Every structure is written in C-alpha cells, then in structure tokens.
Structure 1
Amino acid sequence: MKYILATLGLLALLPVVASAAERPNVLVILADDLGYSDIGCYGGEIETPNLDALAKNGLRFTQFYNTARCWPTRGALLTGYYAQQIRRDNLPGIPSGGRGKRPQWARLLPDMLKPLGYRSYHSGKWHVDGLPLQCGFDHSYYVQDQGRFFNPKVHYEDDQKLPPVEPGGDYYATNAIADHAVRTLKEHAEKHGETPFFHYLAFTAPHFPLHGLPEDIAKYRNQYRAGWEKVRDARWQRIQEMGLVDGVLSAVEPDVGPPYHFPKALEILGPGEVNRPLPWETLTAAQQEFQATKMAIHAAMIDRVDRDIGRVLAQLRAMGALDNTLILFLSDNGGSAEIMVRDDGHDPTAAPGSAATYLCLGPGWSTTSNTPFRRHKTWVHEGGISTPLIAHWPAGISAKGELRQDVGHVIDIVPTILDIAGGAPLKTWNDQPVPPAPGKSLVPAFAKDDSVKRDALWWSHEGNRALRVGNWKLVSARDDDWELYDLHGDRTEQHNLAAQHPDKVDDMRRKWEQLEDEFRQLATRDLPQSSLLPRKELILPGKSFFVADRPAFIFYPPREKRRKPQPWILYAPTLPGLPDRHEKWMHEQFLAAGVAVAGIDIGESFGSPRGQKLYNALYRELTTKQGFAQKPCLLGRSRGGLMITSWAAAHPEKVAGIAGIYPVLDLTAYPGVDKAAGAYRLTAEQLQNRLAKHNPIENVEALARAGVPAFFIHGDSDKVVPLETNSAEFVRRYKAAGAESLAQLVIADGQGHNYWDGFFHCQELIDFAIKQATAATEK
C-alpha cells in the first residue's frame, strides 16, 4: 500500500513511501529545565559537541516553543493537542492539571504510528497519565523518582516496578536512561531490523536537584566565578554572531525571584543562597562561591546529557540507521528559577552535587540560562517558553547548518512525525470521533525557511497567559495587566506597546478568551456535568479562579495601592452568592486601604478537617505563588465563623487577627451535632464524643496563647447564633487565658441574625481588620 505524503515540501525530499522498511525512524530527545542558550549551538559555553554536530549537519529553529512546564509539554508533545484540551494543564472548573486524565480519544503518538508498522520505545522521564506500555510503547524505562539522580526509589521497566537503587553505587540517572536507549536500539536492530522505530528519549537532567558526577563538575569548577552578568553577556554576543535572535539583550528583573516561595529552604541552604538575580558584585564571597558552584553542576549535567546522546548516536551509526532517522532535540520549558529542598533533604557539609545535597539553579543563573529572554519556567514570557529545536535527518533534510525562523510549538511534533511517516492523525478511536488537532507539520520548513503558516499560538499556565498572532504577542504574568510586544525586532519583550495599541490588545484578549472557551468545551466533552464547577460571580473588581477544583476569588485593591507582600483578608463563607451586596461597602473600604480580600468555597463543611484542607490550599496558592502576606486577617460572617476559627485554631502562627459578624463559633448551637456530623465523616455520637477536638469554641485558647487579636460584632437578640454561646463565650475564654485585652466585642442592641446595615458599616471592625492585615506585612 502506498502512502501519499501530505506536503509538497516533503515530496521534494522523498519519494512516496512504499514500505515500512523505507519509512524514517524517529528519535525525539527531550531535556528537562534546559534554557534556550544552555547548549553550544545556541550560544552557550557548555561543551555539547554531539548536539552541535547535529545542528551543523541539520537545522536550528530559532522561534520554537514549549508550554512553560514539564507535564503540559509532554502531554502536548505526545498527543499534538494543547495540554488544556486534553486536561493535562489546568482549566478552571474541571479536573485537570498535572494529575488530569486524558480523554479516551487523546491517544499518544505510538497508537498513531503502530498502524504504519512502527515500534515505539521510551527511556527516561514520563509525567503523562497512565504507564508507557499501557499507552502504546513496546519498551520503556521510566524514572519516576526525579529527586534522586544517584539512587531513585521509584522506577519501572516495561511498566513493572523495579527495586530501589541502593545508595553508594555507580548508578546515575542520565547514564541509566541512555543505557536503556542503547540497549533497546540494539535489540531493535537484532530482532526488528526491517521495522521503523520511534524512540522517545526523555532525560531528567538538568532539572533540580543539581546532582552531577564529580569528574563532570570538576570540568566546570572555575568556569562561572566571573558571575552571571559576564556569562550572560558572552552568550548574548555569540547568539548575535549566530544570527539566532534580533533585538537587544533583555534587562535583568531584580525583583523577579522563584515562582514559589519556600522560606524554610533558604534557611536550610544557608547564607550562600540568594533568591534574586542581584548584581554579582553585591554578593558576598561565600555567596559567589556557592552560586558559581551551582552553575558548574548545572553545566556538568548538560555536558553529561550530551555525552550520553553521543552514545545513542554511536549506536544509530553502528546499526546503519543514522541517515534515515529524524532526530529532534528540545527542552520541556525554560530554565528554572525555583529554589526548594525536597526528597532526602540537603546536607550542607556534603560535596555540592552529591546525593546528600539538594540544590536548585535559582533566578540568577536561570536568567543566564534563558539568555536573551525574560522570565523563567512557569512564566509564558519568552524565557519560560522558548526552546532550542535541532532537526537532523540526512536522508530527508538537505540543508546543513541553517536556521529556520518558522514559529513552532510542541503541538507540531506529532503532525511532523506523522507527515514523514506517511500517516495521518486518527479520525476515530473506539468508534468515537477524534477532534482535529491544532498543530502544523514542520516538514515544509525542512526544505524552506518561513514556510509554516498558522493563525495563532496560545499559552496558559498557573495564571500566566499569552497569545502569539504573527509577530504580535500578548502576554500577562499572573494578576498583571496585559502587555503587547512586536516580536519582529523585539523578541526579548523590552518595549510594551499595550498603551499605544489598545484595540490590538482588546482583539487579542478576546481571541485568547475564545480559545480558552473552545479548549474548555473540548476538554469537558466527555465529562459528566456533575464533575464541573461554576465560576464565581464577583461584586467587586478581582478574579474568579479555582483552587483544588473549588471556586475561589480575590478582590484586588487599586493597582497603585497594592504591595509586596500583599496584605489580605481571608473571608468566609464563600458560598454561591457570597460575598453579597450587603457587604459590598465593607469590602470597598478594605480595598481602598490596600488590603485584598480572598476566599474559597469549601461548601457546608462546618469547620471540619476537609474544609481546613481547602483553606490550606488557598493559603498556599496565595502566599507561595501570588505574593500575598504570610499572615492574613480572617473575617467570618455567620457560619463563616466556624470555618475560619477552626482553621485559625489549627494554624495560629498564620493568623494576623480574627474578626466576625455574628459568627458561629459553637457548632452545637449551629448547625447542631446531628447536622454537622456528616461533614466530619463521623456519626453524631462520634462527633459528640470528640467536640473537645473539633468544636472551634473549645480551641480558642490556642489563639489566645498565640496572641491573636479578635473583634466581633453580634446582636443580643440573635436566635439563630446566640450571642452568649458564641461571641461572648469566645471573649470569656480569652479572659480565662489571660488575653482579655486582645478580644473586643461590640453588642448590637436589639439586633438578631439579619442584614442590619450596622453590621456591615461597623467602622471599628473595618479599622481592626485593616490594622491587623497591614501590621502583619510590616513586622
């Protein structure tokens, strides 16, 4: 059977493919957290002779993109869809993200290649739902434990779990991944020599922790003592000489640090660590040594990847397959500014880069890694999403050492491979239609520069958003305004044109939102309606989003009054319709004072551990990812009192103050033990017996001991939430704990559980909440 090739560009290169034996092999090599300029042929000083040789005898794409993060990139690369379309990155209100499950129709590339006679192999990192052989691969070595380069505890061969690697041996993940690739290719040559193969070689390097072989680290020991500015300048000089990027070197953003804040990690790592790209000359000698050593390890890891790629290439030569193998090399996201300590922790006395250490590249060297672009992994500015792409295929690419300006994305990998294999995307799976994929074949670009045309490219990751249409790029970091760049001449995003072209911003914003809606429709097509959650409608400017698949919101102060860290009030209850119009004036006063208000819908959880976990998720989201202060002031109305007080009593160190409007503090008064028991996943009798642990009013002494100020306003005629057993009892318990001066109670004469304006225009409550929220940011 003859397969007619889809593009004229490829017809010029290859005859019609007539048999499986004539089809090209494919080797896709994916690095992890490798920056745009980290390899020699893209301007780097790290020795990568094997990759440089592939570029010299093939093509380098200058404008190729990933998704800014590992698992979305892998899902997109292996399916041909945006990760959001297949639930492998977050879309609001649906079960999606790093643990999302693909729709059944979202098959991986091996399922598309199998009918064409291909065998498929995987070596290395996975980070896709399912296991490799379950997803169509014929052999796999899967390193799930990426936190231990020398002794992983979790790894698989052919979907079967292997014993943990004992510490102290000669195992090193990069070598082991390449060993499997070489071994698999040898077996292929011996047993399936007439069959084409697809090999997905996914290194875990140079992702943190920075673990390198001692001999490799020694090679770069003195390479980086001059500092990140000089290394970055030298890279930029080479990039210009190579003609890779036009424009100017992006300015260093000294206030942009890691995307997530782990203050304990900085304590563990010691005084040598810095979490901002500060001028090198301002660092202490100890900091310079610490930072130079980290970059030496990063370089060593990349050097080792290149050496092991050389071993794989040698095997292809030995089996006579190199000329007819399309090799694609790229990275899953930009260099990482993250700083954390995980897995086996960090021993500061151990040799840097050894198994007992846990180091991360950090923003100083990540800025260098992503030269010449702005920002880092997780952001969708150019530094977070730009990747090298080397294409090498002697039998199919006649160009040698040329550049390609074609704009591409990892969604293009599947259609490109299907194109050269003589296949086509799946139309159905299990008798169900498979929707069209958005990618474009890059095969025309193999023959001619600037020959791949497309309407738009779209990005979204953790609130960072972007759209590229032609040379126009609309981009926004989380919670920031949209920026607009003309990438023709300003690829490094230095000249924001949003103010000069407001109509263009509006047009592209609408296009971004339209695509998000389309992706949402596709991602939810096979999901029951009951699994979806509605967005929250807001009464004031802010944003509605989802945390742990629950609706959440933030009301933002005017931009000129925002701060870092941002003071905030955690409000409850965030149920459908709340906060409502009665509270609008009160929240406006908070915003006018520069204090944000946030909340999450935890349902009727009545202070249960389940609800507390959701508050933990919101707290982590705001404090580690969005720059909010570590101590909010809590504000609960009615049943919201149960919610915030139970969380506060469990985490008094995270609370700046606690306020309430006729708050429920005693769950025996409302909703009653019988009704609350289900939320605690206990019987009524069990909950009754455990009230000392679970009833918020029984635990307020923890707040008193921690010195948490409190303010309540409560009506003396409240029949739903009686004053005496709730707010008044709280104050009595504070007095008994010796903290009477910290608790204030305003009694509203003759008022019950109602919408009396005095509850929501209480200036004393407003002043208290503002004072506590802002004081927490000034200590």
Structure 2
Amino acid sequence: MKWIAALLLLCPLLNAAESKPNIVFIIADDLGWADVAFHGGNAPTPHLDQLAREGLELTHHYVAPVCSPTRTGLMTGRCWSRFGVTTPQSTRALRWDTVTLPRALKSVGYDTCITGKWHLGSKPEWGPNHFGFDHSYGSLGGGVGPYDHHYKKGSLTETWHRNEKLLTETGHVTDLITKEACEWLAARKDAPFFLYVPFTAVHLPVKEPAEWLAKVPVGITGDVPRHYAACVMHLDAAVGQIVATLEKNGKRDKTLLIFTSDNGGSTAENNGQTYPADDYPEGALPGNNKPLRDQKGSVYEGGTRVACIASWPGTLKAGKHDAPVQIIDWMPTFCALAGFKPQQNLKWDGINLWPQLAEGAAPPTRTLYTVAPGFKSRSLRCDPWKLVVHGADEKVKFELYDILADPNETNDLAAQQPDQLATMKERLNVMAKADRDAVAND
C-alpha cells in the first residue's frame, strides 16, 4: 500500500482529474487588454498581477466583441451566433432546453451560483435560476449604475435581484457582488462548487467611492480617467477578497480559478447613454487595448483578445500559454474535469483545454470564428492567418492578416495572397453554416 500512496503523491494531475475541482470563473466587463498592470496598465492591480505571476496566463484568449455573446459562449460551449446572439441582449438568449454549463455541473453534484451580471434575459422568469444556477444575485440586465443599480431607462430599469425577486440595496455594485460571492463561498461544505462572478466593472457609467479615488496614482489626471483607474483598482481588490475567502476556507488548492474580460476596452462617453441620472463624471472612458487594434464591438484584436489567467496552486504550473483559445472552450474543459458526460451531442464548438494547460499536450490546429453585432463583421483565425470580413452581399470587404507576424493587424495581405484568401473564405462558409441553428424561439 505504501507504493500506491507514493505514486499518488507524485501524480497531482492524476489526483486532480479523478476528483471534482471547485471552479470559480471571474469575468470583468469591458476591461481592456492593457487596463491591467501586468500588461502595462497605469492603475496598480497587485492581486491580478500575483495571479498572473503565479498562475498560467493565456496570452491569446478570445471572446466576443460585446457582452451577451461572450456570456452565451461561456454558458453553452458554442459560438454565440448559433443562438442568433450577437448584440447586448435583454430578451431571453437561450432555448429552455439548453444544456448550460451550470446545468451540466449541477447534474454531477456541483453547487452552482452566479453573483453579478447575467444579461441573457432581463426578466426574472428568464433569469439564471432557470438555467442551472442554485443561487443568483445581481443584475439580470447589463451594466448598471454603481450606486442605484439601475439599468438603462425603460421597462427593464429595475434589474437588481436575488433568486428571481427584484430588490433594492445600498452600496457600490462591486462591493455588493463581492460580498455575496464571499458569503456564498463561506457557506460551502463538502460538495464541489461552481461560482460565476461576472462583475459590472469597468463598464460605464463609472463612479467610484472617495476612498478608491484617493488611491489613484497622481500621474493619472482627468475626472473620468481617475474614476476609471479607481474602478480597475476596486475590481482588483474584489478579486483579492474572493481568493482570500478560498484560502480561509481551505478551498484554494482544490479550486481552479479563471479571470478574464467579456470584450475589449471601451472609449464610449461615460455619461452618454440612457442611464438614470446619478451625477456621473463626463468624458470618454480610457479603455486601453494597446498595442492591439481597435476596441469593444470590433472583430479586430482589440475587441476580442483579452487578458486571461488560469490559477490552480499545486496543479497548474506558472507560465504563459500562447496557443489561441476561446471563451467557448471553458465549458468542455470544466465538464471534462467534473466528469460530466453529455447524453446527447451538444454540438460544442469549443474544446477541452486541459491537456494543453496542465499536461503539456500540443495544441491542435484550430479555426476560431467570431461574429460581431448584427453579423456586420466577422473574423476567422486559423494560424498563421486571420480573415476579417466587413459587410455583406455586394458590399462585402475582405482583409487578410498574418496574425503571428502581424498581431496588431497593420498589413492587409488580401491582395497579395489570393490563394490563402480563398481558403479562408471557404473555412468561413463552413463555420457559418451552423449560425442560428439554436435560436430561442421556443
């Protein structure tokens, strides 16, 4: 028996695969590639820096250009365009019978919780509790005012809820989301858990407490830039609180934690949308995606390539993973770790990343498909090439980039590489065939 114990001690990856890890998935809202200090950001992010330094950074992690599509991809393991979801969406995004990530994990014994922004159906009857979450709290709709917790003016302004019941609470949105997450974690017993924490930071409108504004480096000037930096720092501290709660409860070394963003950073007007008035500072957001091209809403790298960290002490080695991956990969990965085996073909577009991330397996050749709002732009990455498509029908425009040699997309090679362009067009047509095959019209 001694040799068996010794073998197990030498095989932490085997132990991890045979047990059911806890999973914490934290996603920021509109956080730009270079908004974090470990990518050169001007606001200090010590907790995220530590996660990046001690964990595994996924340097080519892709999401959708905007929020609801990214969340659809995470919840289903499929491209968001399969559900016809390409824009921020208040109507129900998913079919009632969709096997979502929390439903899958719940079926193999997981406790499931979301605390934060849902944005896949803004009425309580379309909320997270109907799609596999035992406990839900936060915004049913999109980003909300940080103090009044209201969504945009209209019939869905009231959106703050707990388990389908709308409620009114006081406090800053980042603090409320974090408090609920930590209290839920503190109550966990022996069952494995999946905690999904979709923060509203740093989505507009930003307005931070005086205590956080006082911590902003003096070199950051201007009203909105200072509030934005404070928002980034506040978010970083919230992540630190969640990690500290896992450590206090003895769950940290049993937990796979992922941190990422739902799309690239934004430069929209902070007080320029139809949120109820709450004395928001005026000016453009300073979302920073440099050196990547463009921003939120775009299929260029600045809209879809975001910071991502995978952290599991004792199991994942520190370092960088440079192969292209996408938000749709997390459901197959988590399900494999949890031991969930689908009873039917779930038509996943994503793949199980674990052999790459933990076991050093060579990344497979992949084609990553991205659809922008309204299908007005699309992209396809199949290394070394990236195809960018704008428009449709007779007004369509194709661009082709060597994304490995030209990651900032400065040199369009479509005219010089007609054969490669034709091949990428064919791949695009194949990927697009499944679009809208699961639209929520039931």
User: What's the TM-score bracket when you normalise by the shorter of the two chains?
Assistant: 0.7 to 0.9
- Match for residue 174 of structure 1? 174
- Match for residue 134 of structure 2? 138
Question: Which residue identity is paired with 1:407?
Answer: P
CA distance in 2, matches of 1:308, 1:435: 34
Counterpart among 382, 398, 403 of residue 301 in structure 2: 382
- The offset of 1:211, in angstroms, is 1.4
- The offset of 1:335, in angstroms, is 0.4
1:435 corresponds to 2:350: no
CA distance in 2, matches of 1:450, 1:381: 28
- The offset of 1:16, in angstroms, is 7.3
Of Structure 1 and Structure 2, the greater helix share is in 1
Partner SS, residue 427 of structure 1 = coil
1:325 corresponds to 2:255: yes
CA distance in 2, matches of 1:126, 1:137: 11
Partner SS, residue 427 of structure 2 = helix
CA distance in 2, matches of 1:127, 1:56: 31
CA distance in 2, matches of 1:45, 1:141: 31
Question: Which residue identity is paired with 2:176?
Answer: A
CA distance in 1, matches of 2:413, 2:296: 24
- Match for residue 515 of structure 1? 431
- Match for residue 313 of structure 1? 243
Contact 1:71 1:127 in 2 (8 A): yes
Matches within 5 A, 1:182-201: 182-188=182-188, 193-201=189-197
Partner SS, residue 201 of structure 1 = strand
1:155 corresponds to 2:72: no
Q: Deviations over 1:115-146 (max 9, x none)?
A: 22110011110111321111111111122463
In the alignment of these two chains, the number of paired residues is: 412
- Match for residue 15 of structure 2? 15
- Match for residue 57 of structure 1? 54
Matches within 5 A, 1:600-639: none
CA distance in 2, matches of 1:452, 1:53: 26
Partner SS, residue 14 of structure 1 = helix
Contact 1:150 1:172 in 2 (8 A): yes
Partner SS, residue 15 of structure 1 = helix
- The offset of 1:15, in angstroms, is 3.1
- The offset of 1:485, in angstroms, is 0.6
Q: Deviations over 1:395-424 (max 9, x none)?
A: 421x12x11101100000101111222223
Partner SS, residue 210 of structure 1 = coil
Counterpart among 365, 370, 393 of residue 289 in structure 2: 370
Question: Which residue identity is paired with 2:218?
Answer: N
CA distance in 2, matches of 1:59, 1:437: 24
- The offset of 1:358, in angstroms, is 5.3
RMSD: 2.2
Contact 1:209 1:360 in 2 (8 A): no
Question: Which residue identity is paired with 1:334?
Answer: G
Contact 1:81 1:438 in 2 (8 A): yes
Contact 1:68 1:461 in 2 (8 A): yes
Partner SS, residue 297 of structure 1 = helix
Partner SS, residue 113 of structure 2 = strand
Question: Which residue identity is paired with 1:148?
Answer: G
CA distance in 1, matches of 2:324, 2:232: 26
- Match for residue 611 of structure 1? none
CA distance in 1, matches of 2:398, 2:90: 26
Determine which structure has more spread, i.e. the larger CA radius of gyration: 1
CA distance in 2, matches of 1:293, 1:155: 27
- TM-score (norm. length: structure 2): 0.87
- Match for residue 273 of structure 2? 341
CA distance in 1, matches of 2:411, 2:340: 43
- Structure 1 residues 110, 465: closer, same or farther in 2, change over 3 A? same
- Match for residue 421 of structure 1? 338
CA distance in 1, matches of 2:268, 2:332: 33
- Structure 1 residues 89, 43: closer, same or farther in 2, change over 3 A? same
Partner SS, residue 224 of structure 1 = coil
Question: Which residue identity is paired with 2:228?
Answer: H
Question: Which residue identity is paired with 1:54?
Answer: L
* Structure with higher RCO (Cα < 8 A, 6+ apart): 2
- The offset of 1:450, in angstroms, is 7.3
CA distance in 1, matches of 2:368, 2:17: 31
- The offset of 1:360, in angstroms, is 5.9
CA distance in 2, matches of 1:43, 1:408: 22
Matches within 5 A, 1:742-757: none
- Structure 1 residues 135, 527: closer, same or farther in 2, change over 3 A? closer
Contact 1:328 1:390 in 2 (8 A): yes
Question: Which residue identity is paired with 2:400?
Answer: L
Matches within 5 A, 1:186-265: 186-188=186-188, 193-220=189-216, 222-225=218-221
Contact 1:487 1:493 in 2 (8 A): yes
CA distance in 2, matches of 1:105, 1:116: 18
Partner SS, residue 258 of structure 2 = strand
- TM-score (norm. length: structure 1): 0.51
Question: Which residue identity is paired with 1:472?
Answer: W
- The offset of 1:327, in angstroms, is 0.4
- The offset of 1:101, in angstroms, is 3.6
- The offset of 1:455, in angstroms, is 3.0
CA distance in 1, matches of 2:405, 2:359: 22
